[in-house]
Structure 1
Amino acid sequence: MASTGDLVRTFETLLRGDVAIVGGKNSSLGEMISALAAKGIDVPTGFATTSAAYWRFVDANNIRQKISDLISEWQSGKSQLAETGQAIRKLFLRGDWPEDTATAIKNAYCQLSASAGIENLSVAVRSSATAEDLPDASFAGQQETFLNISGEAALLTACRRCYASLFTDRAISYRQNKGFDHMIVALSIGVQRMVRSDRGGSGVMFSIDTESGFDKVVLINAAYGLGETVVQGAVNPDEYQIYKPLLNDLKLVPVIEKKRGEKQIKMVYGGEDMPTRTVPTSKAERASYVLNDEEILQLARWACIIEQHYGCPMDMEWAKDGITDELFIVQARPETVHSCGDAATFKTYNVGKRGTILTKGLSVGEAAVSGRLCLIENARDISKFVDGSILVTETTDPDWVPIMKRAAAIITDHGGRTSHAAIVSRELGVPAVVGTGNGTYVLHSGEDVTVSCAEGDVGFVYDGISEIKTKTVDLTGLPPTRTHVMLNLANPAAAYRWWKLPVDGIGLARMEFVVTNAIQVHPMALVHFDLLKDQRARKAVEKLTIGYDNKPEYFVDKLSRGFAALCAAVYPKPAVIRMSDFKTNEYANLIGGEQFEPKEENPMLGFRGASRYYSPRYKEGFALECQAIRRLRDKMGFTNAIVMIPFCRTVGEAEKVLEVMAENGLTRGENGLKVYVMCEIPSNVILADRFMEKFDGFSIGSNDLTQLTLGVDRDSGELADLFDEQDEAVRWMISTVIAQTRKTGNKIGLCGQAPSNHPQFARFLVECGINYISVSPDSFVAVKQHVIVAESNKARLGSDASATPSFL
């Protein structure tokens, strides 16, 4: 007879070094209870069966040699995986419990129930393999979990089924691929008190961005009910992103993103015959967030504590008790994809001519592929999958892994970034677009498409085969330079793609892109919604603003969070945010915009930029822009945000704009706020010293400056040959304003396309003494190399060569 301690261990007695005894999952639970409870992290208590208990069950039923023989037959090709797995599982399911093992489990369960003061306590029964949750291999989803198990008989049945799940087809296949010996891997069973998340919510949390590997954010997925729906990818959950470096300041709310998921179903408690069942969510649940800001921040802080304790990025599961409103961590394991990556290099993908967008969802990975679709709606039809094609299905579970690794890409109807499809695709390095909602409806087998996950956190499925260019970027050998090289970025969804680049900040963040893509509505149509005449526009606005107490708040919230993602990508380095610079015809294209915009013959030189901000036509809209920036800096904490005013024609206009900004809580100099102005009009050059009295810096917009210096419409096909940013007159303008600005001590940079299109143009700018150059991400390395060469050749560097300009 084995002693109870050899067969069962309470979580409180376990540490992470006990993987060989109780597996990765259970040893990690014990570690958190032992080491992190004092830091406020709540983990539901429980117990684990040991690896010795597993082998005792195997030998008591005389099945060790039978398992070995069945595995050998499969490895030699004498049997199929499906029949091998089924035969081994039957050996376990038909086995009897050794008396001492069954007694140890029942006694531990009785004690757990007694400590809770509940007879036949409801527990979660989870599998924990001794080769599980290692830093270089994730066995997530390979074995079974059983929820809401109550009573000794039901518990022993669930435990037997856990043992059998060590030999599911996907588990056998995964161990074989990873090189683990099937006959030395044992299984521990974790029995953990259930959290009443069936009445609350649950989900998954990563201490790293799952797609880019950006290590400064926590990613949380959340849905109502028990967590299996999130893990299985059966729902499109809420998604929250939190910026880790600002979490310690309790006055701040650094929640970068809050994306409300559809959450159409939830898993709740069932009856004796069926411990859990899936039911539809209410309309109110679908329209609301699972977690409030306080709960989001609490979980994010816990993620940071757990990551710091383990010393590596972590993948965690959490649950909220709907009765007590308490939060719990129910699992934690090392993240296995980006933590093993190479920080010195990364690959970029560029999709050429694109076809029509057929569907879109959340992107997994950063690659793009073209190929032929293979639609498989049911796991029974997996054998029909064509190797190398693009898999389309509603959702995946671990049974799909054998074909997922043979797919060129994966498209699912349901699931978030932490769904099974996303986790497995990420680990396999296969691009996936998950949560499309309609992929199996609008796509069909045999259709040629391009799957692009290279454009940020939205993944696109385009009609037809596109040309895809790949480039490996080597970041070694790029030393710091005196002339800062920054990025032009517009899309917050793609900001984290470039976090590995050794940039000096963001030199141009365009508000127009955020408004067009994330907001879509004209700000005045939100301020004056009651006056909006277009009924289609009214319906569109109503739909977009669901969940917001007032419609202008929708604009402020979306805009502030969009810029938060950009600021977070480079914090604490500067991020220069250009206030809106739509032309009237572009503003009119926004939802509800036509009613609020004048019609102009030449919008390029019309009612744009600074002139709008103090005008009665748009002053209320600009107030919303200011509110968003103020929230970004003061509430979220991104004080690295610098405001930039575009198309400011006169010094008097500059004064009016600064006055309106101050009225809306943005006063130059307060809380470190710097205000820059675009240099894109000849008057900006001519009166540079006067403009610099009003602003902290200049950013040369070489496109507009070239247009107005040469009198050439930059969009004119007939005059394309005359539009040249390297023209002698344009260079004179640029060199003159740089020289003037250096006299006043203000900062000056350039954010036009010239250095991106012509990296050698960067040498001219360095020779002029510019402070920073802002370029598109794909040209960063080339421009940086030109700057390095130019600075090394610049004879006048001398004593100030080591001085690095400071922006903040």
Structure 2
Amino acid sequence: MTNDTSQLVWFEDLRRTDVALVGGKNASLGEMVANLGARGVKVPPGFAVTAGAYWRFLDANELRDTMSSVLKELGDGRRSLAEAGEAIRRAILRGEWPEETAQSIRLAYDELNRRTGKADVDVAVRSSATAEDLPDASFAGQQETYLNIRGERALLDACRRCYASLFTDRAISYRQVKGFDHLKVALSVGVQRMVRSDLSGAGVMFSIDTETGFDKVVLINAAWGLGENVVQGSVDPDEYEVFKPLLSDASFSPIIGKKRGEKDRKLIYTRDIARPTKNVPTSKAERAALVLSDEEILALSRWACVIEEHYGQPMDIEWAKDGETNEMFIVQARPETVQSRREASAVKTYRIKKAGRKLVSGVSIGEAVATGTVCVIDSPREMARFVDGGILVTRTTDPDWLPVMRRASAIVTDSGGRTSHAAIVSRELGLPAIVGAGNATHILHDEQEVTVSCAEGRDGFVYEGTADYEVEEIDFESIPATHVKLMLTLANPAAAFRWWRIPADGVGLARMEFVVSNHIKIHPMALVRYEALKDAEAKRTIAELTAGYGDRTEYFVDRLARGLGRIAAVQFPHPVIVRMSDFKTNEYANLIGGAEFEPKEENPMLGFRGASRYYSPRYREGFALECRAIRRLRDEMGFRNVIVMIPFCRSTKEADRVLEVMAENGIRRGESGLEIYVMCEIPSNVILAKAFAQRFDGFSIGSNDLTQLTLGVDRDSADLAELFDEQDDAVKWMIQSVIEQAHKDGAKVGLCGQAPSDHPEFAEFLVECGIDSMSVSPDSFIAVKRRVAVAEQAATMGGKADRA
């Protein structure tokens, strides 16, 4: 074992301040080994060959002058990037190790064998440049990593190849962009005991949402085999999301997102010394299964929180699971370099107003929209034909693609997830990207005009032609404070994280039916009575969607709870009011398998909807699934900020029946702080406000339905459009009356509707009535907030004038 710390240092003797000595990657490994082991974070043992050893290697082989000369020729235009990179790499690979350095590496490898109890222990040999993993530059995948390296000779060869990788075309190009001097960046090499994830799985996690910067979630990507496939984006991985604030309570399982990826290949060991790893197809069982259990997802997420807390900033972390011991390990951790540096006070929002035919879809990266001409490229060797500002379409990317990615206005890849190379680099370049699109390279073609939209949530879309869209910059620091609580109306779990920066007072309306129709797609009764379904096609589709669920009803409960959990997380710990399903019968019938369970009605708007369904034999079992999801959301996941709301409750008798059915399903008012609200959208809710207030904790005025039923006007009738007016005196009387009565009986009152957004005077009226809250769509939040502030100020001035 060597003590020559100028050439070699063990991880436990390093700290994160040692970047100049061993590069960012190795310094971070040392920091974790030394400080986080006591907190349960496991890092495989190893050592770093220092930057000093790199300079000794260059000097022993007289390489500095050669490199300087070649780089000058590159700068003068006398050599191409490819020629310069090839010349320097060739010179490095021909170099001989100084005996002192080689002996230090051999002795350290012998010591690692002794520590692990193995002969010729398998190691990962990782490049760690002295200019990487910095707060303003990720250098994602710029230098090489070699896995399953065994024996002294193979180790020395792998270390030399790491040195050469400092001068790949992509690395040279990236340093030029970032303004780093090529001859002042050194390379350290990390030698770390392999985690046998080839027998299990591995991946990447971030302690922040990589698209929106939402800082209260951990995002985990996972695939079978060694982790390089996830890092490079060559597989479609599993994706898990965990809500950090609830992780400290061991009784909660706050996993708010769980998506199974295709995982069609895995990287495993071989016995070939020259080619120690290879990709093989995964089995059907592996593709159908999730890589991690809930317990493992939560354990990794807690580690992410520990690491983030220690470093004091959001982190990008690589993890691996050992298939021999079933232990989890952290193999890398670096600062997250995009969202953590984004200016939080002002955000641009994009909205598609009108778009052409949807061509392909995948995972959206970023939140922007871009239009341009498609250029399908199979290899970086074809980059010369790429037209600046085009839409780059390819199967996958790795660091060799960087020069052409910089010239694109958007990127679309067939494979990859949120933590793939294409995703990471696109974020750093500020480009919208769609990864994991599956077949984009087959459907899209050169010179095709398209729009790439990443502004519609977790799913990104490529539309035919040039879409009509608008861009707005929202400055949150300019928003005034108000006494009336201003809340959000949300429905789409996929897009919920976009709005986390809005300083709202909660979610006043989370529409369950949207989650069901978009996130679940199956009629709950078709799951309850799957075996009796007559529709063979629906039965086949349901079988495909629920694959992996032993109990098909669990598919509904699981996806509904997690979908609502994403919405509840955005405003935690503020209240989030979840309205139980309020489909009309014709809408329910459009769900998969739904036609067999829904009556045909002449007027579904006034038919079998809302509360009347919940206790009916036709739907009671479906409502029980909704209740199971709410119970899981509050009691198992920990979102006690969720309030339940009952829609279209026609009478107090119906209210009693619904509350009884809810209690049978474990949902009781007051239990664990649960509040239950009722929609105020029927005149009977106003007339009997006192009686309803005795049964519910609050009212939410649905101004559209209340206007329709107060005035007797079909809100969808073009012939009666002029008569449908939420500011009609009769409607305003209803609203004022229910607010007064509810407040007398200690119940809260909010309004969810478009009227305050469309009419400033209506917002003023609600303020005058003393309403407790308003719920509006995110895009109108700032305008309504300002109107409410003006109205409150006017009311205050008016009061002062009266007293005078």
Fold shared per TM-score above 0.5: yes
In structure 2, distance between residues paired with 1:42 and 1:761: 59
1:42 paired to 2:36: no
Write the letter of the residue equivalent to 1:47. Answer: F
Query: What is the CA–CA distance in structure 2 between the aligned matches of 1:63 and 1:754, rounded to whole Å?
Result: 73
**8 Å contact kept, 1:369–1:468:** no
Which string of whole-angstrom CA distances, capped at 9 and with x for unpartnered residues, describes residues 559-589 of structure 1? Answer: 0000000000000000000000000000000
CA contact (8 A) 2:364 2:458 kept: yes
* Aligned-pair CA distance for 1:759: 4.2
Q: CA deviation at 1:478?
A: 2.1
- DSSP 3-state at the match of 1:555: helix
Aligned to 1:58: 58
% identical equivalent positions: 66
Alpha-carbon displacement from aligned partner over 1:678-727 (angstroms, at most 9, x marks no partner): 01111111111111111000000011111111211111122222222122
Cα deviation digits, residues 149-193 of structure 1 (max 9, x gap): 001111111111100111111111111111111111100000000
Distance 1:96 1:471 in 2: 59
Q: Which amino acid aligns with 1:550?
A: D
Where does residue 152 of structure 2 map in the other structure?
152
* 1:335-484 alignment, distance < 5 Å: 335-484=336-485
Aligned residue for 2:197, secondary structure, equals coil
Within-5 A mapping of 1:117-128: 117-128=117-128
The 5 Å alignment of 1:3-42 reads 4-42=4-42
Q: Shift of residue 648 of structure 1?
A: 0.6
Matched, 1:784 2:798: no
Task: Tell me whether 1:499 sits opposite 2:500 in the alignment.
Answer: yes
Structure 1's 123 and 601: CA in aligned 2 closer, same or farther, altered over 3 A? same
1:158-557 equivalences under 5 Å are 158-271=158-271, 272-557=273-558
Deviation at 1:797, TM superposition (A): 9.6
Of 725-734 and 461-470, more deviation after overlay is shown by 725-734
Q: Which moved more, 1:437-446 or 1:33-42?
A: 437-446
Aligned counterparts of 1:243 and 1:736: Cα–Cα separation in 2: 40
Give the match for residue 138 of structure 1.
138
CA contact (8 A) 1:760 1:783 kept: no
Is this contact kept in 2: 1:759–1:782, CA < 8 A? no
Task: Give the aligned partner of residue 803 of structure 1.
Answer: none
2-structure distance, mates of 1:462, 1:644: 37
Worse-superposed segment, 29-38 or 719-728: 719-728
Task: Provide, for residues 758-790 of structure 1, a one-character-per-residue CA deviation record: whole Å limited to 9, x for no partner.
Answer: 344222211110000000000001111111111
Q: Is the 8 A contact 1:707 1:723 kept in 2?
A: yes
More displaced 10-residue stretch of structure 1: 546-555 or 727-736:
727-736
Greater Cα shift, 747-756 or 184-193: 747-756
CA displacement 1:304-329 (0-9 Å, x = unmatched)? 00000000000000000011000000
Q: Helix, strand or coil: the match of 2:462?
A: strand
Structure 1 CA distance, aligned partners of 2:799 and 2:249? 42
SS in 2 for 1:198: helix
What is residue 90 of structure 1 aligned with on the other side? 90
Runs of 4+ in 1 over 4 A off after TM superposition: 796-799
CA drift of 1:3 comes to 6.9
Letter in 2 for 1:163: Y
Q: Does the aligned pair in 1 maintain the 2:480–2:785 contact within 8 Å? A: no
The answer as to whether partners of 2:480 and 2:786 remain within 8 angstroms in 1 is no
Corresponding residue pairs, total: 798
Separation (CA, whole Å) in 2 of partners of 1:759 and 1:421:
45
**Residue matched to 1:607:** 608
- The answer (yes or no) to whether the contact 2:221–2:418 under 8 Å persists in 1 is yes
Task: Supply the distance in 2 between the matched residues of 1:694 and 1:459 (Cα, whole angstroms).
Answer: 44
1:767 maps to a residue whose letter is E
C-alpha distance in 2 between matches for 1:523 and 1:3: 67
Aligned 8 A contact 2:565 2:639 in 1: yes
2:380–2:404 Cα contact (<8 Å) kept: no
Structure 2 residue matching 1:482: 3-state secondary structure: coil
Cα distance in 2, alignment partners of residues 180 and 380 from structure 1: 25
2:639 aligns to what? 638
Deviations 1:343-400 (A, max 9, x none): 1110100011122211111000000112211111223322221111111110000011
* Superposition pairs of residues 759-774 of structure 1, within 5 angstroms: 759-774=760-775
Q: In 2, distance between residues paired with 1:7 and 1:798?
A: 78
Q: Could you give the per-residue CA deviations for residues 608-636 of structure 1, whole angstroms, max 9, x where no partner exists?
A: 00000000000000000000000000000
Tell me, in whole angstroms, the C-alpha distance in 1 between the residues paired with 2:384 and 2:637.
50
SS at 2:6 equivalent: helix
> Partner amino acid for 2:61?
N
**Of 436-445 and 145-154, the range deviating more from structure 2:** 436-445
Partner of 1:672 in structure 2? 673
CA distance in 1, matches of 2:661, 2:167: 68
1:607 Cα deviation from its structure 2 partner: 0.3
Match of 1:589 in 2: 590
Quote the Cα distance in structure 2 between the aligned partners of 1:370 and 1:685.
50
Distance of aligned partners of 1:39 and 1:107 in 2 relative to their CA distance in 1, 3 Å threshold: same
- Distance between the aligned counterparts of 1:622 and 1:757, measured in 2? 34
Q: CA separation in 2, counterparts of 1:760 and 1:211?
A: 37
User: What stretches of structure 2 of length at least 5 have no aligned partner?
Assistant: none
* SS of residue paired to 2:302: helix
Separation of aligned partners in 1, 2:503 and 2:751? 18
For 1:698 and 1:71, how far apart are their aligned partners in 2? 72
Per the TM alignment, residue 798 of structure 1 is displaced from its structure 2 partner at its CA by 7.6
Farther off after superposition, 715-724 or 123-132: 715-724
1:711 and 2:715 aligned:
no
What secondary structure sits across from 1:348 in the alignment? strand
